């Protein structure tokens, strides 16, 4: 849509009258070519395209290069850059302040799969309304190149030697932990990243996006499983994803059996166009199987791996007021003077 703005030339705006610039953040200070930057850009595009109100989003992150990125997008949103590995708890508490808000979190593989594994798994089982993006590069970027827990066995890194351990698979962990939305993607596949973020923003509970996001400075050798080259050569997409917002009509027609539709919490639709084999992302055991198979075959399996729109979200479990808790007046949160006598009566 083109509109004439009062103070300038015509600029592109979306349905709520915001331009792409309204979704931007500060200029990035990450390395040029870092996968994390490409994900930040897709967050901006996704938010713009789904007409997201920036003020309705709260950003969270832990510590790491990845966790720095919330300052590189959505400057018009509140944000809290917490502690290393402890972002999920921060988001859990903060999202109770105003339950109409959506959480958008960025973490790294160190932040999530090492120091933060406990909070990651517990946030998942509580199903809070949070888009949880793990920018997974198999390495600790910010502390200059140590192995992370997602690094493949046998990976060789400068000054670090050879990694002797088996890796942690974040998507698999999320799935085993009962996440209600699990996706894997690749920073080198921006279109898929963007559509997955849109879908995640429409999800009512937690959505875990394990996005392989190469660290060009410390872990981008062609043979490394978190590099651009390896990803490009080994990516196998489960389906081609497109996201249709609630109000819009589905324009493309698919033939019988050609595509699957998933209706999201907010009424939007995710269309999964078949590529190769049939895949049903609502089937949990099938999801576990394909992840195992991908690990065995050493392919980078991407797409919407699992979705469950039935599970109640954290907010529903707590049965809180329609008015956001942080807007309740004193009268509503301090019991009446009369009740004091009743309480004293209970104290024997």
Partner 1 sequence: MSISQPAFNESPVTQPELIINDFSITVATVNGSGSQTSNLTILRALFKMGIPVSGKNLFPSNIQGLPTWYTIRVSKDGYLARREEQEIMVAMNPATFIQDLANVSPGGVFIYPDDITFKIERTDIHTYTMPVKRLVKESEAPSNLRDYIANMVYVGVLSNLLNVDLDKIYSALDFHFKAKTKPIELNFGVVKAAYDWAATNLVKADRFQVAPMNETNDCIMADGNTAAALGAIYGGVQFAAWYPITPATSLAESLNEYLPKLRRDPETEKNTFVVLQAEDELAAIGMAIGAGWSGLRSMTSTSGPGLSLMTEYAGLAYFSEVPVVVWDVQRVGPSTGLPTRTAQGDITFTYFMGHGDTQMIMLLPCSVNECFEFGWKAFDIAERLQTPIFVLSDLDLGMNQWMSNPFTYPDQPMDRGKILWEEDLNKLEKRWGRYQDVDGDGIPYRTVPGNKHPLAPYFTRGTGHDENARYSEDSETWRKLLDRLALKFQTARNYVPKPVVEKMEGARVAIISYGSTEPAIVEARQKLIQQGLKTDFLRLRAVPFTQEVDDFVKDYDRIYVIEMNRDGQMHKLLCMAYPEQTTRLISIAYTDGLPMTARNIGEMILAKEEN
Ligand X SMILES: Cc1ncc(C[n+]2csc(CCOP(=O)(O)OP(=O)(O)O)c2C)c(N)n1
Residue-by-residue DSSP string for 166-197: PPP-HHHHHHHTT-SEEEEEETT-HHHHHHHH
* Contact code string over 55-84 relative to ligand X, x by CB under 6 A: --------xxxx-----------------x
Is 7 a residue that touches partner 1 (CB under 8 A)? no
Retrieve residue 196's tokens.
């997955």
Rg, C-alpha atoms of the chain: 21
Cβ neighbours of residue 320 closer than 8 Å, sequence gap 6 or more: 96, 99
Binds ligand SF4 (CB under 6 A): choice among 30, 43, 124, 287: 30
Number of residues in the chain = 348
Closest CB 136 distance from partner 1, rounded Å: 22
**Total residues at interface with ligand SF4 (CB under 6 A):** 12
**Total residues at interface with partner 1 (CB under 8 A):** 54
- Choose from ligand X, ligand SF4, partner 1, none: what does 252 bind? Cβ within 5-8 Å by kind: none
Is 21 a residue that touches partner 1 (CB under 8 A)? no
Is 232 a residue that touches partner 1 (CB under 8 A)? no
Sign of the dihedral through C-alpha 322, 198, 50, 213: positive
The SS3 call for residue 90 is: helix
Q: Which of residues 92-121 bind partner 1 (CB under 8 A)?
A: 92-98, 100-101, 118-119
β-bridge pairing 235-237 and 300-307: parallel
Is 119 a residue that touches ligand X (CB under 6 A)? no
Is 208 a residue that touches ligand SF4 (CB under 6 A)? no
CA dist., res. 156 & res. 143, Å (int):
17
Closest CB 11 distance from partner 1, rounded Å: 17
Closest CB 26 distance from ligand X, rounded Å: 17
Q: Which residues of the chain form contacts with Mg ion (CB under 5 A)?
A: 108-110, 137
């Amino acid at each position: 849509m083109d509109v004439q703005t009062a103070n300038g030339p015509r600029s592109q705006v979306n349905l709520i009258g915001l331009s792409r610039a309204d979704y931007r953040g500060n200029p990035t200070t990450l390395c040029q070519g870092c996968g994390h930057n490409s994900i930040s850009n897709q967050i901006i595009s996704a938010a713009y395209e789904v007409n997201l109100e920036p003020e309705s989003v709260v950003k969270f992150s832990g510590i790491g290069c990845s966790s720095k990125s919330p300052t590189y997008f959505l400057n018009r949103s509140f944000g809290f850059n917490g502690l290393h590995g402890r972002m999920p708890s921060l988001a859990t508490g903060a999202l109770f302040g105003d339950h109409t808000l959506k959480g958008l979190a960025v973490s790294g593989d160190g932040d999530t799969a090492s120091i933060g594994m406990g909070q990651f798994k517990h946030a998942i089982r509580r199903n809070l309304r949070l888009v949880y993006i793990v920018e997974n590069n198999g390495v600790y970027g910010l502390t200059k190149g140590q192995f992370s827990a997602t690094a493949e066995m046998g990976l060789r890194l400068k000054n670090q030697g050879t990694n002797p351990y088996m890796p942690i698979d974040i998507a698999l962990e999320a799935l085993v932990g009962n996440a209600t939305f699990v996706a894997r993607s690749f920073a080198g596949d921006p279109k898929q990243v963007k559509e997955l973020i849109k879908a995640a923003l429409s999800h009512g509970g937690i959505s875990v996006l394990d996005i392989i996001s190469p660290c060009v400075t410390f872990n981008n050798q062609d043979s490394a499983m978190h590099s651009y080259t390896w990803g490009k050569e080994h990516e196998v997409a489960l389906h081609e994803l497109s996201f249709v917002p609630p109000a819009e009509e589905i324009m493309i027609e698919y033939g019988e059996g050609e595509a699957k539709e998933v209706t999201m919490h907010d009424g939007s639709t995710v269309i999964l166009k078949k590529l190769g084999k049939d895949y049903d992302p609502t089937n949990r055991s099938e999801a576990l199987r394909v992840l195992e198979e991908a690990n065995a075959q050493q392919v980078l399996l991407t797409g919407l791996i699992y979705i469950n729109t039935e599970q109640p979200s954290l907010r529903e479990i707590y049965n809180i007021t329609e008015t956001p808790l942080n807007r309740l007046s004193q009268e509503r949160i301090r019991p009446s003077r009369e009740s004091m006598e009743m309480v004293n009566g209970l104290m024997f």
